[in-house]
Every structure is written in C-alpha cells, then in structure tokens.
C-alpha cells in the first residue's frame, strides 16, 4: 500500500534558525496537504499543493511539491517559539479508488529553544 515517509522525526532548533521537514511518498500523489499539531492539540490544516513543482508561501513558511509529485517539503525561515509542534504531510494517492483518503506521514516534532 501507499507509504508516506517524513524526515526528520525530531528537530531541535534555536529561535531564529531555519527548519525544514521532508516528505516522500512511495506512490505518485494527486495532491499533498500539510498540517500542524500543537502539543496537546489536534491537527490543523496549513496548505495544500496540487501542481507538479508548485511552491507556495505563507509568511515565513515555504511549501514545495516535487516535479514527480512524490515528494514535498516545508521550510520555516527564522523560527519562533510559536512554531513549536508536530508538522504532518498527508498525501492523496493519484489514481486511487478511495477519493479524498489521505495517508499521513509520521510527522516531524519541532522544538524551538528561545
């Protein structure tokens, strides 16, 4: 079945440093979504990418979708303590029979030291 791998599992940074998490799918994706889960909270949608090679920015966050639509990345510039949490990617399998079903990566836990 489809697998979505995310690295690194953990990342500790000093406030102000940059952070990147990478997501790789075993199958081609029709789209990929990113979610953030604060400690003790539930996942909250950040963004979705649909087109091959797409790049989207949200303030200090930059999201990329690979040309082959099998990988994606999230980059945070100049981290702040409010960025703390777990970042998940979630992909929908292209050509899958269960439309709308997302496979989540294991997440990257980001810790920001002030």
Partner 1 sequence: GAGVSQSPSNKVTEKGKDVELRCDPISGHTALYWYRQRLGQGLEFLIYFQGNSAPDKSGLPSDRFSAERTGESVSTLTIQRTQQEDSAVYLCASSLRGRGPYEQYFGPGTRLTVT
Under the rule (CB under 8 A), what is the footprint of partner 1?
A: 6, 30-31, 33, 35, 41-45, 48, 50, 88, 90, 92, 98-107, 109
Residue 14 burial (C-beta neighbours within 10 Å; 0-12, 13-18, 19+): exposed
Q: What is the smallest separation between the CB atom of 54 and partner 1, expressed in angstroms?
A: 12
Q: Pick between residue 21 and residue 78 the one whose CB is nearest to partner 1.
A: 21
47 Cβ partners below 8 Å, 6+ apart?
33, 34, 56, 58, 61, 63
CB nearer to partner 1: give 24 or 104. 104
To partner 1, the closest distance from the beta carbon of 99 in angstroms equals 4
Residue 78: CB minimum distance to partner 1, A: 26
Identity of the residue, 13 or 50, whose beta carbon is nearer to partner 1 in the bound complex:
50
CB 84, CB 39: distance < 8 Å: yes
Nearest to 47 by CA among 25, 23, 68: 23
């Amino acid at each position: 079945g489809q697998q979505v791998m995310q690295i690194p599992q953990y990342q500790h940074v000093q406030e102000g440093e940059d952070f990147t998490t990478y997501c790789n799918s075993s199958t081609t994706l029709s789209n990929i979504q990113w979610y953030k889960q604060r400690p003790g909270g539930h996942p909250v949608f950040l963004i979705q990418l649909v087109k091959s090679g797409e790049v989207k920015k949200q303030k200090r966050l930059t999201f990329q979708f690979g040309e082959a639509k099998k990988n994606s990345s999230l980059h945070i510039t100049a981290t702040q303590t409010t960025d703390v949490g777990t970042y998940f990617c979630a992909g929908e399998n292209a050509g899958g029979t269960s439309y709308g079903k997302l496979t989540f990566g294991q997440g990257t836990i980001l810790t920001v030291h002030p």
